[in-house]
Amino acid sequence: MNLPNTLTATRIVASPILFGLFFLPDLLGVPYAVVVPALWVLFVAMEITDVLDGWVARRTGAVTDLGKVLDPYSDVISRLTYFVAFAVLGIMYPLFLLLIVYREVSILFVRMLMYRDGIALAARKGGKLKAVFYFLSGVVGMLVYSVNGLDLFADAPQVHSGLSIAAAVIFGLAVLLSWTSFLDYLQVFRASRRERQQ
C-alpha cells in the first residue's frame, strides 16, 4: 500500500480510539482536562490526513482506484464515528444522524455497483462541499463537548445556547448537502448504466 493509502487507512484505525475518548470521563472518571485536548489532537490529525492523502497522491502521481474507494470509505468511518458520539451525548439530533447514515450507506452501495462495473467513482464538487460541512459539524460538535465538559462559560448560558443553535444549523446543513450530493452521484450512476446498455 502506497503512502497516500496508508495515510487514508490511519483514519480507520484512529476512529474507534476517538470514539472511546469521548466516553472516558463517564466510564473511567478521566478528567475532561485530559480528554478534551487529546480529542482535539486526534480529531485535527485525522482531518489533516484527509487533506494530505489526496495532496500526496496527486503530487506523486500515486492516484489509484483503491485510493478513490478507500478515501471516501475512511471518511465515512471517521465522520460517522464522531456523529454517533455526538448523538449519544445529546449534541446532535438522532434524526440527523440517521439521515446521514442512510445517505452514507446508500452512496457506498452505489460505489460498489459502479466498482463492479470497473468504474471508481471519484469525489465530485457536491461531495467535497458536503465533506466541508461534515468537518464544520465535527468542529462545532467538539466545541460543544469541550465547553460542556470543561464547564466553560458557566456564568454565560447564552454561550451554551448559541453553540447549541449553531451546532443544530451546521448539522442540518450537512444533512441537506449530503443528500443533495447523493442525488448528484445517483445521476452519475444512472448515466454510467445507460452508457453500458448502449
Domains and CATH numbers, the chain: 3-197 (1.20.120)
Q: How many CA atoms lie within 13 A of 61 on its CB side?
A: 0
**Under a CB-based contact definition with an 8 Å cutoff, are residues 174 and 133 in contact?**
yes
Rounded-to-integer distance, Cα 101 and Cα 112, Å: 16
Is there a contact between 117 and 196 (Cβ–Cβ < 8 Å)? yes
Instruction: Report which DSSP code applies to 155.
Output: T
pLDDT in tens, the chain (198 residues): 788 889 999 999 999 999 999 999 999 999 999 999 999 999 999 999 988 988 888 888 888 878 877 888 898 999 999 999 999 999 999 999 999 999 999 988 887 787 777 666 666 677 788 889 999 999 999 999 999 999 998 888 888 889 999 999 999 999 999 999 999 888 888 887 777 766
